[in-house]
Amino acid sequence: MIDEIKTAPESLVRETYDFILFLKRRRSLERKDDEPKPVDARPDFLARQQALFGSRVLPDSQVILDELRAERF
């Protein structure tokens, strides 16, 4: 393989070398991105609920489930 590289045209050697450098740079960039990014802020679920439903109080679902079970028997 070394003999093939020595006898290859200069343009092919240069192109191959440039491609190897490209792959090395790409690998180094991928390693930096593998680190987990810290989460800046947690979602505000209460604000989201108030935006959707306002100040309405929704009934507990347990009462509804108990009624459905009572109807089955």
- pLDDT (tens, 9 = 90+) of the chain, 73 residues, equals 778 877 888 888 889 889 999 988 887 766 665 666 677 777 888 888 888 778 876 677 787 788 888 877 6
Spell out the SS3 assignment of 35-60: CCCCCCCCCCHHHHHHHHHCCCCCCC
According to the model, what pLDDT value does residue 58 have? 65
According to the model, what pLDDT value does residue 32 have? 60
What total of structural domains would you count in the chain?
Answer: 1
pTM over 0.75: no
Q: CB atoms < 10 A from the CB of 8, how many?
A: 13
According to the model, what pLDDT value does residue 65 have? 80
According to the model, what pLDDT value does residue 29 have? 67
Please state the separation of Cα 42 from the chain's center in Å: 17
Question: How far is Cα 36 from Cα 52, in angstroms, rounded to an integer?
Answer: 32
According to the model, what pLDDT value does residue 2 have? 76
Domain hosting residue 68, numbered range: 2-36+44-72
